[in-house]
Chains A and B, each alone.
Chain A
Amino acid sequence: EVQMMESGGGLVQPGGPLRLSCAASGFTFNVYGMGWVRQAPGKGLEWVASIGNSGDDSYYAASVKGRFTISRDNSNNTLFLHINSLRAEDTATYYCGRWQLVGGNWFDPWGQGTQVTVSS
């Protein structure tokens, strides 16, 4: 069964760093791109970043470019999202998803999410 499990969220102070992880299983991780989306309280889904299967190419939403870094460890089937200079508006549930690129672009499946709260 294909599964993704996010971790690393919690209550963090503004301005601090944070690293989110996404442990993948049930598929050949290094064949697929991966990505992160988030949902702030009361808001819709927002795409954050995606990374190609080898890790050589990455893409970011304008709202996070320069502060967020997506990376992956193919030897350990893990996706990461490094966040610097956390802001209150980064408060959200962060979901990782497997990026499908055959004939189109979509995510399937997704993890259950990890909650990030930025507050002093």
Chain B
Amino acid sequence: QSVLTQPPSMSGTPGQRVTISCSGSSSNIGIQTVSWYQHLPGTAPKLLIYINNRRPSGVPDRFSGSKSGTSASLAISGLQSEDEADYYCSAWDDSLNGFVFGTGTKVTVL
């Protein structure tokens, strides 16, 4: 059962900016850092953002993360066809004493 809520789908044309929201609570996003993953089913999930807004080496700067209160967001600017994938936010939850993942957002490039 997902504790973090994301929009099921979003779409955009090449070059556009897409922002995915992730809504949590005071026991997870409110007091813990957020990470974001890109996933194509059947392949290894890929870390895009950690500690709210940090990008691992190799992740294009088109991807950016932010956090405010109990919500976080992932922005993809200059959308490209290879960005078509599922995106998940995640955080540690102090009440559950474990990780929680978002419901996932499927991004389609029109």
- A residues in contact (CB < 8 Å) with B: 35, 37, 39, 44-47, 50, 59-63, 93, 95, 97, 100, 103-113
Question: A109 to B98, Cβ gap below 8 A?
Answer: no
**Closest residue on chain A to residue B1 by CB atoms:** A63
Residues of B within 8 A of A47 (CB): 90, 98-101
Are the C-beta atoms of B44 and A46 separated by less than 8 Å? no
A107 to B37, CA, bound (A): 9
A44 touching B104 in the complex, CB below 8 Å, given contacts A59-B98, A112-B44: yes
Minimal Cβ-Cβ distance residue in A for B32: A105
Q: Is the CB of A104 within 8 A of B99?
A: no
CB neighbours of B100 from chain A (8 A)? 47
Asked if B50 contacts A108 (CB within 8 A), the reply is yes
Q: Known contacts being A39-B41, A47-B90, is A106 close to B98, with CB within 8 Å?
A: no
Interface of A is mostly: strand
B88 within 8 A of A: yes
Determine the residue in chain B with the shortest Cβ distance to A103.
B51
A62: B residues at CB distance < 8 A: 96
Q: In the complex, A66→B45 CA distance in Å?
A: 27
CB pair B45–A105 under 8 Å, yes or no, is no
User: Are A105 and B1 closer than 8 Å at their CB atoms?
Assistant: no
Known: A37-B45, A61-B98. 8 other contacts (CB 8 A): A37-B99, A37-B101, A44-B103, A100-B50, A104-B51, A105-B33, A107-B45, A112-B44
Query: Which single residue of chain B is at the shortest CB-CB distance from A93?
Result: B42
Residues in B whose Cβ lies below 8 Å from that of A108: 47, 50, 56
From B44, B52, B99, B103, A109 is in contact (CB under 8 Å) with B44
Report Cα–Cα, A97/B88, bound state, in Å. Answer: 15
Contact A45 B101 (CB under 8 A): yes
Contacts of B96 in A (CB 8 A): 61-62
